[in-house]
A and B are shown apart, each in its own frame.
Chain A
């Protein structure tokens, strides 16, 4: 069973606040990903990492930033949240040993007022 965790699960904040969405996995996977998804819509890759100290921007431009200091941890930060950031954020991880199958966390639903 995949063990990947996200906190908080739900977050409602005001415009201009700084937030960090946490993502941790206990599987030792080297690759981790952040997706943004509006309800009922496609997934958009916004950041990925294929190892410690390596991060890349994804296909969808995002004002968020990420870091990968430890294998198991891949937090996403928004310095100044705006209503346009309202969305669901999904974290995933994978490994060559899994055939690159991605395992998803439960998601964080962010609402910016």
Chain B
């Protein structure tokens, strides 16, 4: 069974601190997606990582993918309150890739305090 696990599930951090969210998955995949969800809102695409070693950065967020370790990280640099949200990673179901189905992690809720 394909599993996607995020760690931690809840993160309370102070502004200007750095932290990393981890996303582990249990099957072969050459790609991974990160989404952001604000409270009461829908999911917004953050990063698409399409190959081993892929690294994407936007503002204070940087995502990377290690397909051999089946691990993606979302690194937050000098956190600010605006980054408070829930972050989801998602991996395609490889055996049914043509369906486009994704398996989502549980989500990591980030709370940035002044």
Contacts and interface: CB of A to CB of B under 8 A. Distances in A.
A52 interface: no
Given A40-B109, A90-B42, A90-B43, A100 B97 contact: yes
B41 interface: yes
Contact of B41 (A48, A56, A107): A107
Contact of B42 (A42, A45, A101, A107): A107
Interface residues of B, number: 26
Interface in A72-113: 90, 92, 94-96, 99-107, 109
Interface string B86-103: 101010100001111110
Contacts of A101: 33, 45, 48
B48 to A, nearest CB: 5
Q: Which of B31, B45, B100, B104 has the most CB of A within 10 A?
A: B100
A40 B39 CA distance: 8
A100 B35 CA distance: 14
Interface string B24-46: 00000001010100011111110
Contacts of B97: 100
Interface residues of A, number: 27
Nearest to A91: B42
Q: Which of A40, A102, A104, A105 has the most CB of B within 10 A?
A: A102
Contacts of B52: none
27 contacts: A2-B45, A33-B101, A40-B39, A40-B86, A40-B109, A43-B43, A48-B99, A56-B99, A90-B43, A94-B100, A95-B100, A99-B31, A100-B31, A100-B92, A100-B100, A100-B102, A101-B45, A101-B48, A102-B33, A102-B100, A102-B102, A104-B35, A104-B42, A104-B43, A104-B44, A106-B41, A109-B40
